[in-house]
Amino acid sequence: MSNLATAEHRRREVTTAYFLRSRMATPPSHSPTLLLRIPTFEITFHRNRYSHPQTLVIDNSPALLPFASNLIMFPAPNPSGVARKPEFRHVEGDSIALTFAECNLDFIDLIGNHPRDCNKFYPLVPLLEAASKVSDFVKIPIFSVQVTIFRTRASRLDSPITTLFVMQAPRTPKVNVYDLDFGWGKPEKKISYSFSHKQPEEMAAIDDFLTILEKCQISPPLNTIGERSLPLTFFDLGWLLFHPIHQLFFYEFPHSKSRFIETVIPNLKHSLSITLQHFFPFASNLIVYPAQNPRKPEIRHVEGDFVALTFAECSLDFNDLIGNHPRECSKFYPLVPVLEGGTKVSDFVKFPIFSVQVTVFPNSGFTIGLTNHHTLSDATSRYELLKAWTSIAKYGTDEIFLANGSLPFYDRVIEYPQCLDDIFFNQHTINTLDENYRHPQLVSSTDRVRATFVLTRAQINSLKKWILLQLPKLEYVSSFTLGCAYIWTCITKSRVHLDRKKTENELERFACVIDWRSRLDPPVPQTYFGNCVGPCFTTMKSTILTGNKGFVTAVELITKSIRETVKNNQGMLKDAETWLDRFVVKVPTVGVAGTPKHDVYGLDFGWGKPKKYETISIDFGQAISVNVSSKSPEDLEFGLSLPAKQMDAFISIYGDELEGIISEETS
């Protein structure tokens, strides 16, 4: 890796959320000419002859107040012809974005006067956050700071620091920047420069093919919710440290970008706002209290809370992305939104739990990407939100949605021992949920590829007939069990094919979740909002799973495991206290995301049904997605994400063994 790449990599490790989620603000087109100037950047290089930087104190002097303010832009003149001019405004709580980073580039080289590659300086530059719509105006951040340390070398006793400021303002030679001494001496070097419209690619790896069109905040209609909170049950608490859930829907839209902006964007904004009126937790925050506070986390909504909604444009090949063939996983990551980190508020930390990104591929289609914290809901509650949103977007009103009587049920009526809350809340790593916590993020530099495999109804029927011949005592096998067993077997064989060092006693595990709404005693409504799923595990030796009877044994064990879990006479909560321990067992596990019970290909916002659906979050581990197929609700669609070489092996094994079984069954 080059020095520049290493520096950028380290910088992003330290400030991942800030650098990957920021975009320069673009003022509205009606702004005065001066306001359309791009930001000016200024770097000052200092030497620090201490092993550690001294404490930085941020002055709250009134003289610095404009720097902790925002540029306020008002809309075009009202009908009376009165137009408010832009202004700087500071309100309590406004702040300066301050980033600390580390770089391994050559400090001496950077402070020279000789020609140097401009790209070397870009990782040292802080960004200005995007503009945001607030009530009847747009506010634009105007100042940010990044402090970057260049670590001490073995041959040198000093530890240089660069301090960089970004302001939307011109510079003047009357200011002697070489007199600026923070306490470590005067600057070694000062550099000023600016960019012409396009940001340096080092700032955002996705800039080559993704352009942000708009970032906005969507709230429920004013005064429709008020302040509400939703306690978390042990079903929710178990997901506190789980990775975010990423979903991606691809819709065909063979029209121009301007038509997308004029029709799709206003519709999705309006319909999402109306939908949030009925599904307030999605426009809420996860509230976490400090370790010494015994209060359990909760989901809380206050007036003004919102969903972060991003609109973007992408130049990738839409038709390639909606295919079933292997495609680079990293191509999909820019299309899913991120969740911002935690914010310290009074005596608690609040975390956003839902965000949306809509990305247009001009003259081809658009994607709707969803990201949610798993404590918010399981797949069932999330699917109910999508059904409501699509109905409201398609018909322009919530009347049809309300007529179906499918409003979410928020009462916490599940009966279970109190000790389960304590067990799931007192996870040993729960204290990491503070303002410095950042959600796990997908890494773009990966060799993983994703592909989709469809088992048709005819193939499923052939597999069922063959299995029942091998297991005559098995009266029934579901399509879900059959398909999962076959995929699990092929994944294990593909991994062993590449790594033949496995021993006879090594284990493989399959995991899925079961919806307990109708199975609890007493049962809860099917519209119960939140998480209400429990795990079901199946474990088998690798040598058995990869043997001649591997598929047959997998079907038998998964069927038995699901049946015993569902039919448990002692109640599904009998072993709930062991769920966390079983989740962290270090055994290769193939988990399942999604369910064929939810028709994701029936979600029509008014521009037709999805052309493709992807569960992007399976890339966090070795999981598979299972859904009905886009071609027929009787077919099953399996999404896989594997290293490229393993995917090649899987494709070969999947096709050969399926052909062999069907040939044997029909002969």
Catalytically active residues are: 374, 604
Taking alpha carbons only, the member of 142, 124, 140, 154 closest to residue 44 is 124
The CA distance from 92 to 403, in Å, is 44
- What are phi and psi for residue 190, nearest 5 degrees? -130, 135
Taking alpha carbons only, the member of 653, 596, 590, 581 closest to residue 618 is 590
- What are phi and psi for residue 98, nearest 5 degrees? -120, 120
Contact at 8 Å (CB) between 351 and 342?
yes
Q: What is the 3-state secondary structure (H, E, C) of 390-411?
A: HHHHHHCCCHHHHHCCCCCECC
Alpha carbon 51 to its chain's center: 38
Contact at 8 Å (CB) between 220 and 276?
yes
The CA distance from 541 to 657, in Å, is 20
* Strands, sheet with 307-314, edge to edge from the N-terminal-most edge strand: 210-218, 307-314, 354-361, 365-372, 245-252, 612-615
The CA distance from 17 to 439, in Å, is 9
Contact at 8 Å (CB) between 90 and 67?
no
For residue 613, with 0-12 CB atoms within 10 Å meaning exposed, 13-18 middle and 19 or more buried, which class applies? buried
Q: Name the token pair of 412.
A: 């916490």
Alpha carbon 200 to its chain's center: 24
CA distances from 70 to 21, 67, 290, 303, 654 (A): 19, 8, 31, 22, 57
